Each structure stands twice: as C-alpha cells, then as structure tokens.
C-alpha cells in the first residue's frame, strides 16, 4: 500500500505496465524530458529509454495514427493528448480508424492501444484546457472509455486499459491529479468496466464520474445533515456503462440525479436517464434529473464556476427530486 | 538536448538571409538589401520603440501573473524583431491571423495592451475586436488558423477578380494575409492542408513561421530535419529563411513577400529563426529540458540589443532617445497594470448571448433556468439576512 496522488498513481501504473511488458510504449507531446505538462510521465523516459517514451513532433493525428500502426505491429502504445481540447486534430483517427479497424477486418486486426486525455475544468486556464468531451467518444462504437476518480482506480485502470485488446480512452480528471489516496499494488479493484457504489444510501442515488465524484460525495454528506440518505455511484466506465449497478440502486432508492461536468444537452446523463427509465420506471418516485454544464462553449476562467455544476447545483437537484 | 542523426537525410541548401549582423553592422544581401534600403532613422527608432514596448509589457505580464492577476502569461521575449518586423510593413487592410504569442503584432496593430490582457486575465475568450484591428483573435489549437488565413486570402482574391470582371476594379493595393505560427505548430496536419490549398488557389497569404527553436520542451530537431522554409518548395512556392533576430532582415523579407503576394504570385513562406528566451508560459519550467548554455548563447543574439547598437554606432542616436523610450514604456506598462487591476469580471449571463447569431431555443431556455437558479440564491440570502437582523434587533 502507498499513499499517492492520482497523477503519481498513473505514473506508477504506467511504469508497472512498461516493466511487465516490453511492448508497452508511450507517445505524446512533451512527455519525455519534461515528463508531461502535468508531470504524469516524469522519470519514465530516463528509466525506460527514448525508444519507449517518445517525445513526438506536434501532431495529434500523428500520435494516434502511428499508434494504430504500432498496435497492429504488436506494440501496446499509450498516447497522451496534452489537454482535452487538443484531442480533435486526432478525432478522425480515433473515430474512423482506432474504433473501426477491428470491425472492418471482421476481428482479424485488433487495436490494443490506450489514449490518455486529461479532461475537465475549474483549473483557471484559457480556452481548450477545460473541456469534457466524453460523450463524443462514447457515441462511437469500438472505443472503451474509463475515467478514474481516485488514486487506486488511476493506478489500476492504466494497466487494465493497456492489457485490454480493445482501444481504451482514459479520461483523467486533471483537477483531481493532486488528490491523494491509498493505492493497493497487490489487489486490483477488479472489472474496470463495472460501476462502484462508493457511498450507500436509501433515499436517492447520485451518479457521477471522474472529477465530479468528490462533489457527489460532498452532496451526500450535506444531504445527510438534512436527514436524507443519498447513495453515490462512481460510474468508472463510460463505455460500456454498467447500467445494472445503476438500475439496482435506483430500484432501492427511487430517485436518481446524474451529475457531470460536460454540457447537459447530448451528455451521457441523458443516456443513463433513458436507460434507467426504461428499466426501473415503476420504482421511480421522481423524474431522473441531470446536472451538467450549459449549452455554451467553456467560458473564460473568471466565470467558470457558474458553468460547471458544483455542490449547490447537485443539492438543488436532489431537493427538486425529493419535492416530487 | 538530443542530437538526432538521420541516415539518408537530404540537407537543405537554402540561404539564410541576414541584413543586420550580430554586431549591429549592415550586411549585403543580394535579394533583400533593396527592400531595406529606404528605411529612415526615424523608422528605425519607431521599430525600436515597438520592440522595447512589447518587451516591457511582456515583463509586466509575467509579473502580473506571478501576483495572481492573470491566469496565464505567454512571454514573447526574444521574438520582438520577428514580430514587429513582419507586421510593420503590412497595410491596415491586410488581415492578420496570429497564433497566441504575437503580442508585439497586436500592439503594432493598435490593440491597447490592457485590451489584450483581458484574455490572459480570464475575462474574455478573445480580447479585442478583430474587425477593428483587422486582427483575428488568438488561436490556441495549434495551426488551425493557417487554414482560415488561406480562406480569407482566397476571398480577397475572389473579390478583386469579381470587381475587375464587373468593370469597377478595386482601388489600392491588393490585400495580403499573414498567418503566424510556430515551429511546433508547423507539424500539425492542418498546416499541410493550408499550404496545399494556398498553393492550389494562389492565395495571397504569407505563412510566417517564428522558429523559436522550441515547442514547449520539444526541440526543433524533433519537428524537422531541415529548415522549415525548405518545405515551401515541396508545395511549389517560395520559402525564405531569415535571421529572425535581425529587424532589417525581417522587414525586408516581409516586404519582398508582400509585394509578391500583391502581384498575385503567392503564397510565400518565411521562416524567421529566433529564440524563445523565456519560459513557454508562466506555467512552464525550461530548466527541465534545456541548457543554460544554450540560453546564454542566444542571449548574445538579442534582437533589441542589436538594433540599439546599430542605432547608436551607425546612426549616432544619443542616450537621451533610449532613456525617453524606456520611460515612455514604463508609463505604458504602469497604465496597463492599473487598467488590468480595475477590470471588472464579466457577467456569466452574457455568455448565453454570444454563441449563436440567431435565437436558439435551448440556449434561451437554459439562460432562463440560470437566472432562476441565481434568483433562488438571492432570495435565500435575503431571508438569511432578515433572520440575522431579527436576531440582532
Ligand atoms: C493541437 C494542439 N496540441 C497541443 C497544444 C498544446 N501546446 C500549446 S503551445 C505548444 C507548443 C507550440 O510550439 P510552437 O508552435 O513552436 O510555438 P511556440 O509556443 O514556440 O511559440 C503546445 C504543444 C495545442 N495548443 N494545440
Ligand atoms: Mg516554437
């Protein structure tokens, strides 16, 4: 057991995967000598060599596209995209090639690669550094999507993604990179694609992922003071989504609030709301409610707090749910 | 820094142009000398003023960021000649597409320093009015603006052609467009497409690359085996490699390119070889990836110092001039600081108005929801206030 930040847990997870499998290699901008702008790959170039930690030229399509070739060739490439908003030069490669090569070849070629994308806001930065584009990728068949909310998951999910024979995108909650937690290097938390009930409750369920998980937990604590028992689910995987765990919880609590940083419109909250309504309609005491950002481009830092859902917005949604 | 050798590499044979050498002495260059011959000492003093103003504001930017007054600052130190020298020869009617470090370009275009700081203070996504200064907002997604510049230039050509065809040709010089980007951005795929389109449509666009040797921590050697100007030939247009710390060379190369564009013989690429003397941004720590020795070497090639020596030794400009300029720049920086500190934060609700040109039902609904939600807080605060008053009374 070690106490690590989320960022250092990812470093440790990557290092272990590289130790155990010589075919694992990292590609990205500034990931070598600098160790990445968030220092997530710090020390890995010195330890594993420039042939396994590639400080690439600047080109996201280049990073992801060459990783496809490397993966087909038998490597396990891990691509780093520097910030969420810079994923899009690689959008073509990710959605038309990474996601589809296996289906195109009727299973003859696999693309076992990992794409790490630091995502989410409230870091007080300029445009393109604070986005939550997970729904754009979840909508594309052929990709798996993970998002850790804590150090233990961060450590293991990197390794599980690398070991997976399908392409996996890991959305890393950059504003939680410094969040510390216990990492158990011996015992894996199990299936990375399963959701986790991280706080039990009986009156309502809050589903969150990545950077919003601590907010959801804070909401459960605050609700407790008002005598409400709120269950919190950390979704962990955004493709596939573990609807069984969510549905089972809602059958018990009768109420569901989904909170994410991404805009509400067209966000994954809508998909969860629809599935749960289909599966547990007669258990619902209130409509499923969503808390997300507005249908606006991510705003300048001075007003980002108004855009991203916070504790108050989650509590307000819970109040509305209880009011039915 | 890693050295890279490549078996089978084909070296570039491009000339590196220079008019003002490292000692501030004017050198002859067969291609470019004619384009700098008529520059007066007053004009040189203007260029000096612009370069030093940019540096002074840049220093103030870093200090404001350190004091928590900006969310980020992007230093331009070292690139003053490349920036001022390339924008100074443009006409106000020439459209400029900057990247994100082109503060000296913006100031030369008339953007007040405080206006530019709105972006870095996290108050605005753009900063200035692009139409007022004929200057696109900064583009952070590397290379994206190069395509926009090409399209804008295509439009300018089409307009001119249409006016000619209709028998009422446009007055004045044909417009030119400049797309600024870095050595790092030059390797993004979109930049390739921009060059292909520009070549196909003879777009009057100048691709102006500031090769400052670094893309955050990635050295130039990772981006290219050869000077970037070499690439132009592959697309079938002219590429010039110029000492980017030489204000005369940059002015002359830009004038040469703009003339060509106005004759309808574009595009042109200029690679200005310069150096990012500071950090990538205030969030960066260059000691992690580059040697002090390299910084010192480039320190001796400082573009401002070179022009100062030239003004002093060749044109006998006296110390009073330099002192006055420094004092004026200090005053501008002080005023900018005061303006920045006095800026009030934007209203979030205004964000709902800027997204669509025409009414959008979802945005309208969410705007109303937001206001409702905020009103809920005000109501709560009021009731708390009255409670506490009740207790006090
Ligand atoms: C598409 C994209 N990828 C990554 C980034 C992150 N990033 C910002 S600046 C930069 C380096 C750019 O270097 P260069 O083009 O040489 O310009 P310079 O910063 O040296 O002026 C990087 C990688 C980005 N802004 N856009
Ligand atoms: Mg550069």
Confidence at residue B386, expressed as pLDDT on a 0 to 100 scale:
43
Query: Are residues A126 and B346, on separate chains, in Cβ contact within 8 Å?
Result: no
Residue B391: the pLDDT is 34
C-beta neighbour count of A124 within 10 angstroms: 16
- Tell whether the model's pLDDT for residue B392 goes beyond 90: no
Q: Is B140 on the interface with A (CB under 8 A)?
A: yes
Chain B residue closest in CA terms to A313 = B373
B336 and B353, same domain (yes or no): no
Rounded distance, CA B98 to CA B82, Å?
13
**Are both B53 and B23 inside the same structural domain?**
yes
| Mean pLDDT lowest among A14-18, A43-47, A172-176, B387-391 | B387-391
Q: Are residues B353 and B210 in the same domain?
A: no
Per-residue pLDDT tens digits for A58-110 = 999 999 999 999 999 999 999 999 999 999 999 999 999 999 999 999 999 99
Q: How confident is the model at residue B393 (pLDDT cuts 50, 70, 90)?
A: very low
Given B55, B280, B310, B337, the catalytic residue: B280
User: pTM for the complete prediction?
Assistant: 0.96
B136, B201: one domain: yes
In a domain, B7, yes or no: no
Does the structure show a pLDDT above 70 at B390?
A: no
Which residues, other chains included, contact A313 with Cβ-Cβ below 8 Å and sequence gap of 6+?
A259, A291, B373
Instruction: Tell me if B4 is assigned to some domain.
Output: no
pLDDT above 90: residue A140: yes
Tell whether B157 and B290 lie within a shared domain. Answer: yes
What range does the domain containing B372 cover?
Answer: 348-392
In this structure, chain A runs to a length of 324
Q: Report the percent of chain A where pLDDT is more than 90.
A: 100
B243-255 mean pLDDT? 98
Residue B23 lies in a domain: yes
Residue B287 shares a structural domain with residue B356 = no
B278 and B200 in a common domain:
yes
State the total domains in chain B.
2
Asked if residue B8 belongs to a domain, the reply is no
Task: Let me know whether B322 and B361 are in one domain.
Answer: no
SS (H, E, C) B48-101: HHHHHHHHHHHHHHHHHHHCCCCCCCCCCCCCHHHHHHHHCCCCCCCEEECCCC
Residue B362 lies in a domain: yes
B267 shares a domain with B375: no
**Domains in chain A, ordered, with CATH?**
2-183 (3.40.50.970), 196-323 (3.40.50.920)
Q: Is residue B37 part of a domain?
A: yes
Residue B231 sits in the same domain as residue B311: yes
Q: Does B341 touch chain A (CB under 8 A)?
A: no
pLDDT (tens digit per residue) in A145-202: 999 999 999 999 999 999 999 999 999 999 999 999 999 999 999 999 999 999 999 9
Q: Residue B227: give its domain's CATH number.
A: 3.40.50.970
More confident residue, B1 or A7: A7
Mean pLDDT of B57-72: 98
Tokens of A92: 């073509």
The interface predicted TM-score of the complex, written ipTM, equals: 0.95
Q: How far is B4 from chain A (nearest CA, A)?
A: 12
Last residue of a domain, one of B342, B363, B381: B342
The answer as to whether B76 is a domain residue is yes
CA torsion through residues B337, B341, B344, B350, sign: positive
Cβ of A295 within 8 Å of Cβ of B141? The answer is no
Q: Are residues B231 and B369 in the same domain?
A: no
- Domain for residue B314, yes or no? yes
Asked if residue B325 and residue B266 are part of one domain, the reply reads yes
């Amino acid at each position: 057991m070690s106490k690590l930040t989320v960022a250092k847990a990812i470093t440790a997870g990557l290092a272990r995967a590289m130790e155990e499998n010589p075919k694992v290699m990292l590609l990205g901008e500034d990931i070598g000598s600098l160790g990445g702008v968030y220092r997530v790959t710090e020390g890995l170039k010195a330890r594993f060599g420039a042939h396994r930690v590639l400080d690439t030229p600047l080109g996201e399509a280049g990073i992801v596209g060459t990783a496809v070739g490397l993966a087909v060739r038998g490597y396990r490439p891990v691509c780093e995209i520097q910030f969420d908003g810079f994923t899009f030069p690689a959008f073509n490669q990710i959605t038309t090639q990474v996601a589809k090569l296996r289906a195109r070849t009727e299973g003859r070629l696999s693309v076992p690669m990992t794409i790490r994308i630091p995502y989410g806001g409230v870091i007080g930065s300029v445009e393109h550094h604070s986005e939550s584009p997970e729904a754009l990728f979840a909508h594309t068949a052929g990709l798996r999507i993970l998002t850790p909310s804590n150090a233990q998951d961060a450590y293991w999910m990197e390794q599980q993604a690398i070991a997976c024979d399908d392409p996996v995108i890991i959305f890393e909650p950059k504003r939680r990179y410094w969040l510390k937690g216990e990492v158990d290097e011996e015992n894996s938390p199990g299936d990375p694609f399963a959701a986790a009930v991280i706080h039990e409750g009986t009156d309502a369920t809050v589903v969150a992922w990545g950077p919003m998980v601590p907010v959801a937990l804070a909401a459960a604590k605050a609700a407790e003071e008002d005598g409400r028992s709120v269950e919190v689910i950390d979704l962990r995987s955004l493709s596939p989504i573990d609807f069984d765990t969510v549905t089972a919880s809602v059958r018990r609590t009768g109420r569901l609030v989904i909170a994410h940083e991404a805009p509400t419109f067209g966000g994954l909250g809508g998909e969860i709301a629809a599935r749960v309504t289909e599966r547990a309609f007669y258990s619902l005491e209130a409509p499923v409610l969503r808390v997300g950002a507005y249908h606006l481009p991510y705003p300048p830092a001075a007003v980002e707090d108004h855009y991203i859902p916070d504790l108050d917005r989650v509590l307000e949604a819970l109040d509305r749910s209880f009011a039915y | 820094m890693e050295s890279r050798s490549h078996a089978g590499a084909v070296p570039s044979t491009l000339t590196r142009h220079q008019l003002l050498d490292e000692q501030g002495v004017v050198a002859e260059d067969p291609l470019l000398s004619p384009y700098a011959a008529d520059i007066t000492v007053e004009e040189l003093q203007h260029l000096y003023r612009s370069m030093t103003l940019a540096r002074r504001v840049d220093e103030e930017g870093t200090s404001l960021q350190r004091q928590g007054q900006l969310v980020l600052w992007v230093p331009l130190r070292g690139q003053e000649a490349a920036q001022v020298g390339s924008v100074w020869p443009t006409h106000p009617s020439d459209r400029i597409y900057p990247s994100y470090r082109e503060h000296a370009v913006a100031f030369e275009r008339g953007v007040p320093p405080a206006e530019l700081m709105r972006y870095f203070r996290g108050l605005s996504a753009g900063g200035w009015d692009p139409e007022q200064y004929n200057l696109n907002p900064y583009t952070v997604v590397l290379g994206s603006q190069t395509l926009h510049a090409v399209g804008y230039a295509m439009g300018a050509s089409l307009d001119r052609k249409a006016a000619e065809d209709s028998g009422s040709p446009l007055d004045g010089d044909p417009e030119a467009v400049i797309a600024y980007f870095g050595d790092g951005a030059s390797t993004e795929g979109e930049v390739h497409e921009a060059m292909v389109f520009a070549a196909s449509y003879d777009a009057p666009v100048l691709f102006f690359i500031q090769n400052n040797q670094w893309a955050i921590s990635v050295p130039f050697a990772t981006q290219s085996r050869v000077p970037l100007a070499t690439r132009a030939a592959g697309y079938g247009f002219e590429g010039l490699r110029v000492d980017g710390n030489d204000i005369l060379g940059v002015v002359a190369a830009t004038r040469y390119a703009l003339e060509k564009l106005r004759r309808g013989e574009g595009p042109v690429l200029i690679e200005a070889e310069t150096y990012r003397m500071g950090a990538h941004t205030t969030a960066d720590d260059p000691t992690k990836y580059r040697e002090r020795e390299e910084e010192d070497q480039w320190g001796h090639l400082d573009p401002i110092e070179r022009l100062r020596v030239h003004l002093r030794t060749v044109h006998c400009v006296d110390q009073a001039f330099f002192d006055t300029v420094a004092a004026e720049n200090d005053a501008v920086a002080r005023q900018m600081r005061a303006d920045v500190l006095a800026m009030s934060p934007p209203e979030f609700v205004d964000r709902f108005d800027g997204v669509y040109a025409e009414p959008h039902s979802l945005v309208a609904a969410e705007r109303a929801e937001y206001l409702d939600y905020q009103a809920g807080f005000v109501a709560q605060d009021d009731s708390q206030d009255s409670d506490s008053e009740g207790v006090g009374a």
